[in-house]
Amino acid sequence: MVVDEAIEICHGAPFDEDVYLFDDMEARQAFRTMRRPVCLFGHTHVPTVFRCDDTMKHVTPNRDGRYSLTFSDGAQYLVNVGAVGQPRDGDPRAAFGTVDTVERRLTLSRIAYDVAGAQAKIVAAGLPDVLAQRLATGR
C-alpha cells in the first residue's frame, strides 16, 4: 500500500503478503517490485534493513541502542522495524520505528515493557500458552 511519494507498506513483501522476507534473494525480488524508494514490511517480527543502490547491503540493527539511517537519493530501502508484540530476534523488548519524512530519517528503537503482565493477559484471554511463553525470550 502506498503511503506517500517516498514510502509504501506491506505485511510480508511487496510481491506477496505471505512471504517471509529474510534473505538477499527475497530482498532482490522485493526491490524489483517496490513502487516507492522505501518499503516498510513486517511478518518476520525481526528488525532488519536492506539497502539497494549500486550494490545491496543487509544490516541487522544492533540491539544495544537505537539504529538510525538517513535515506539517500537513488537508493531503495526495505525495512522491518521488528514487533511491538511477539518479537522474534531474541530480545523481548518491544521494537518499533519512527520515520521523519522532513529529515528523511528512520530510527529503530527498543523499549522494555511489562512482559509478565502481557503474559498473564494472553493466558487469561485463552490464547495458546506458547504465545505467552515466547515473550520472555523474544523467540
Q: What is the CATH number of the domain that holds 27?
A: 3.60.21.10
Give the rounded distance of the alpha carbon of 46 from its chain centre. 6
| C-alpha span between 69 and 1 (Å, rounded) | 22
Instruction: Confirm whether 46 is domain-assigned.
Output: yes
**38-41 and 67-70: which strand pairing?**
unpaired
Q: How many domains does the chain have?
A: 1
- Residue of 90 and 61 predicted with greater confidence: 90
The gap between the terminal CA atoms of the chain, to the nearest Å, is: 28
| Residue-range definition of the domain harbouring residue 34 | 7-136
Predicted model pTM: 0.89
In a domain, 32, yes or no: yes
pLDDT of 85 above 90: no
Assigned domain for 119 exists: yes
β-strand 67-70 against 105-111: which pairing, if any? antiparallel
Give me the pLDDT at residue 110, please: 92
* Domain-embedded: residue 1: no
60-83 mean pLDDT: 88
Mean pLDDT, rounded, of the chain: 92
Residue 65 has pLDDT above 80, yes or no: no
pLDDT on residue 1: 87
Split at pLDDT 50, 70, 90, the class of 6 is very high
Report whether pLDDT(139) > 90: no
Instruction: Using alpha carbons, select from 139, 79, 82, 72 the residue that is nearest to residue 110.
Output: 82
Asked if residue 2 is part of any domain, the answer here is no
Task: Give the mean model confidence (pLDDT) for residues 14-21.
Answer: 94
